[in-house]
């Protein structure tokens, strides 16, 4: 049975990219600097992860982002980069070829790097005292950064992770709106050349996982993931002005597919092993504060520290749900605030 879980508070709207003519003109003359897997890659990784989430993990995720798919937040960290430039170094780690990750050399503060930020945001996500807003943002960063660290060029110091290596891809000099570089080819071009939708690609990846038994691998750590990516970047490196032909594509798309599959599985495992071991009640105090601040509870209930605001009643026979003492109810029963009393919920097979 597929359950739809209760959203405690509405999520904040995602900031969108500025689309004014002025900004478009400025960006059209800016040098290409690719940020991570393109939207397709991040969506594929999130879809893979979503298929492997435990039911408890789904409940916890839905308590943060509502009834939205994990892939709906997969590119949020890229969307906010221009508004929050301090987050830019968090998407990658600069490790010299021929070495392995060194935290003091490759991830020094204040800039930090993707290896450390994954760990930092896991701490926020599981912090019982953190606000719901902070934990929601942490989830968005984790979903994105676990994808980023599996893109091989995101672990390489050389030529800014391939951004400064101009290439041709299948005889084309342009990769979308910009001149091709090695990083762009790995971010987007090879995935797009496969010609599959995100749904089709996710199914393709699930078949790969079964065939190569990737799900039997240990999760590892962000440091290990970065070292794996670095080795793959070294193996895929080419000189400037190289024409990346069908042979290169045929060889390296297998690496792309495997890395996205591993990224999705590891993201699911990371979430299952952290918030998947918790319940909404673990965060009742922080949720209570958020709900009270939004005016969804009376000041008396907030002062008494009532936990009724986090009680989720799920209909065991359908995907209907109802959140006590909030304005959020299932659409299945056309509910309105205060319509369902405890006895009514039990009568309709709702259980907390």
Q: Distance (Å, rounded) from C-alpha 297 to C-alpha 326?
A: 7
Q: Distance (Å, rounded) from C-alpha 222 to C-alpha 229?
A: 10
Bridge partners, 179 (sequence order): 174
Across the beta sheet with 312-315, the strand order is: 321-323, 312-315, 350-351
Bridge partners, 168 (sequence order): 243
| Sole residue written with tokens 């982002």 | 65
140 plus 220 within the same structural domain: yes
| Contact yes or no for 262/49 (Cβ under 8 A) | no
Nearest residue to 209 (alpha-carbon basis) of 54, 58, 47, 74 = 47
With H, G, I as helix, E, B as strand and everything else as coil, classify residue 341.
coil
| Contact yes or no for 193/200 (Cβ under 8 A) | no
Whether 111 maps to a domain, the answer reads yes
| Domain closes at, from 226, 255, 277 | 277
Per-residue pLDDT tens, the chain, 352 aa: give them: 333 333 333 333 333 333 333 333 333 333 334 445 678 999 999 999 999 999 999 999 999 999 899 999 999 999 999 999 999 999 999 999 999 999 999 999 899 999 999 999 999 999 999 999 999 999 999 999 999 999 999 999 999 999 999 999 999 999 988 899 999 999 999 999 999 998 999 999 999 999 999 999 889 999 999 999 999 999 999 999 999 999 999 999 999 999 999 999 999 999 999 999 998 788 766 655 555 555 544 444 544 544 444 455 544 444 444 444 443 333 333 333 334 455 555 555 545 5
| Sole residue written with tokens 């050349």 | 193
Query: DSSP string covering 273-330, please?
Result: HTGGG--GGGGHHHHHHHHHHTT-S-HHHHHHT--GGG-EEEETTSS-EEETTSS-B-
Whether 286 maps to a domain, the answer reads no
Query: Burial code of 308-343, b = ≥16 C-beta within 10 A, e = fewer?
Result: ebbbbbbbeebebbbbbbbebbbeebebeeeebeee
| Contact yes or no for 170/193 (Cβ under 8 A) | yes
Alpha-carbon dihedral angle through residues 220, 190, 183, 246, given to the nearest 10 degrees: 110
Whether 175 maps to a domain, the answer reads yes
Domain coverage including residue 341: 314-352
What CATH number is given to the structural domain containing 258? 1.10.575.10
Whether 91 maps to a domain, the answer reads yes
Q: Distance (Å, rounded) from C-alpha 229 to C-alpha 155?
A: 6
Whether 294 maps to a domain, the answer reads no
Our count of domains for the chain comes to 2
């Amino acid at each position: 049975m597929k359950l739809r879980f209760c959203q405690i508070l509405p999520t904040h709207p995602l900031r969108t990219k500025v689309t004014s003519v002025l900004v478009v003109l400025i960006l059209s003359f800016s040098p290409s600097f690719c940020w991570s897997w393109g939207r397709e890659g991040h969506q594929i990784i999130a879809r893979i992860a979503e298929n492997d989430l435990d039911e408890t993990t789904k409940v916890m995720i839905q308590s943060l982002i509502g009834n939205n798919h994990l892939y709906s937040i997969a590119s949020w960290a890229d969307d906010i980069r221009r508004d929050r430039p301090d987050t830019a170094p968090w998407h990658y780690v600069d490790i010299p070829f021929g070495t392995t990750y060194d935290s003091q050399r490759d991830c020094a503060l204040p800039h930090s790097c993707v290896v450390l930020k994954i760990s930092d945001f896991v701490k926020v996500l599981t912090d019982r005292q953190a606000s719901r807003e902070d934990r929601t943002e942490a989830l968005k960063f984790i979903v994105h950064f676990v994808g980023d660290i599996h893109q091989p060029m995101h672990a390489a110091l050389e030529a800014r992770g391939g951004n400064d290596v101009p290439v041709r891809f299948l005889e084309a000099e342009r990769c979308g709106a910009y001149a091709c570089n090695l990083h762009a080819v790995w971010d987007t071009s090879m995935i797009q050349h496969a010609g599959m939708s995100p749904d089709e690609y996710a199914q393709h990846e699930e078949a790969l996982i079964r065939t190569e038994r990737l799900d039997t691998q240990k999760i590892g750590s962000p440091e290990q993931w970065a070292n794996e990516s670095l080795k793959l970047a070294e193996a895929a490196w080419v000189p400037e002005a190289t024409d990346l032909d069908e042979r290169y594509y045929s060889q390296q798309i297998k690496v792309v597919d495997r890395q996205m599959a591993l990224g999705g599985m590891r993201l699911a495992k990371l979430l299952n092993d952290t918030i998947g071991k918790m319940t909404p009640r673990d965060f009742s105090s922080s949720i209570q504060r958020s709900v009270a601040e939004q005016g969804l509870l009376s000041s008396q209930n907030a002062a008494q520290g009532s936990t009724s605001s986090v009680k989720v009643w799920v209909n065991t026979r359908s995907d209907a749900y109802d959140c006590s003492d909030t304005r959020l109810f299932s659409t299945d029963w056309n509910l309105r605030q205060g319509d369902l009393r405890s006895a009514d919920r039990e009568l309709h097979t709702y259980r907390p």
